[in-house]
Amino acid sequence: MFEFEFYNPVRAIFGIGKLAVAGEKAAELGSKALLVSYRKPGPLADVLKRLKKLLGAAGVATAEFFAFEENPTIETVAEGVSLAKGKGCDLIVAVGGGSVMDGGKAVAAGVYYQGELWNMVNSRHDGSGAAIAPPTRALPLMAIPTLPATGSEMNMCSVVSNKALGEKSYIWAECLFPAVAILDPELTTSLRAFQSACAAADTISHVLEIYINSRQDTPLQNYWQEGCMRTTMENIPKVLKDPKDTEARGNLMWTATCAINGWAWPGDGWTPMHQVGHVLTSRHGVNHGSSLSVLMPHWMRYNKLRRRHTYKMFALRVMDVAPAGKSDEQIIDEGIDRFEAFLAGIGVPTRLSQVGIGAEDLQPILDGAVKVSFGADGNLKCTPVMTKDDVMNVLKMAL
């Protein structure tokens, strides 16, 4: 057995039509909300109007901060902090995908933070970031996800970018846990097919990374991870066929939340593909789901024989490979091939070349990952440990 400590204080309210309770729940948290969403709300405009009425009816005043982009920047966070302070907001209500929820969390913490806001971010993993100091206090936050992917609505992580430095990393602090998360599957029915597919890839990546990079003596965690992956794979085709299928939408939404709220990985778990994927986003503008879909199959092929048991389990229990008459390596290879075919089948890229990245880009991508995410020992922390050469080899395989 192994030891761990688990904590998650988020009140999750799940179900079709649950947006209706947002006003009363917000009133339990504060009296003036900074309503946070995208710079261009698009289909969410009507949702935001309705939410504003619900908040007002419950006695909660609002100030609007519709400013976040696909990858929230610390520069935009600073604008939100200034507005929240100036308007005297005592609550953040974030409506959107992971970018908005992460941005809202950073604003909530930034209101109380002393010093440069970028110092909240774990932007160096080699011990050289002497100024890094995670926040310890934040305004209460209500998260209302409209894209089932990042699970930000039920965890203590916020991923932000620094436009000036060209970097992307995360804030990790208990004060970032939302107070309330309202998960209403109806809010996801306007998503375009590609958005839904990228969200599914992101959900899978959260448990897959832990599955292939952490301890092997965690049977409950393994079954949980496998269940999250299978549920996503079974429901994303239904949504792509019928975007209004709220049953399938609900399954995807709850799975995305559970994939990264801590249940799947108490005690251990590394996300090295995310660290490399962040560089694909910060340097090349690759959306988050795609930054992972172009890496996952190739990362798996490179490491398949270094974690033979894990990859065989994945093939048999997630990808339903029939083992009769096949060697372990044949089973593993078929499992990875099926997984890559699944990703391609839902319409997400599986090669770097598909997102405009060529051989000449690989060294700068590796350099970016080393700068932010490699440890003092010169390696990327995972199981097995990845050296610079290992990561470069994966990038070459992914071209």
d(CA 101, CA 106): 9
pTM for this one? 0.95
For the cut 70, the answer to whether the pLDDT of residue 6 exceeds it is yes
d(CA 150, CA 270): 16
- pLDDT score of 12: 98
Q: Do domains 11-188 and 193-398 have the same CATH topology?
A: no
Can you give the residue ranges of every domain in the chain? 11-188, 193-398
Is the domain covering 11-188 a CATH 3.40.50.1970 domain? yes
- Per-residue pLDDT of 32-54, as tens digits, reads 999 999 999 988 999 999 999 99
Kindly indicate the confidence band of residue 266, based on its pLDDT and cuts at 50, 70 and 90. Answer: low
Kindly indicate the confidence band of residue 160, based on its pLDDT and cuts at 50, 70 and 90. Answer: very high
For the cut 70, the answer to whether the pLDDT of residue 268 exceeds it is no
Minimum mean pLDDT range among 209-218, 330-339, 360-369: 209-218
Side by side, the strands of the sheet bearing 61-68 are: 11-14, 180-183, 141-145, 91-96, 32-38, 61-68
Kindly indicate the confidence band of residue 124, based on its pLDDT and cuts at 50, 70 and 90. Answer: confident
Question: Counting every residue, how long is the chain?
Answer: 399
- For the chain, what is the mean pLDDT? 94
For the cut 70, the answer to whether the pLDDT of residue 210 exceeds it is yes
Cα Rg of the chain (Å, integer): 21
Is the domain covering 193-398 a CATH 1.20.1090.10 domain? yes
- Per-residue pLDDT of 60-86, as tens digits, reads 999 999 999 888 999 999 999 999 999
d(CA 148, CA 188): 8
Kindly indicate the confidence band of residue 309, based on its pLDDT and cuts at 50, 70 and 90. Answer: very high
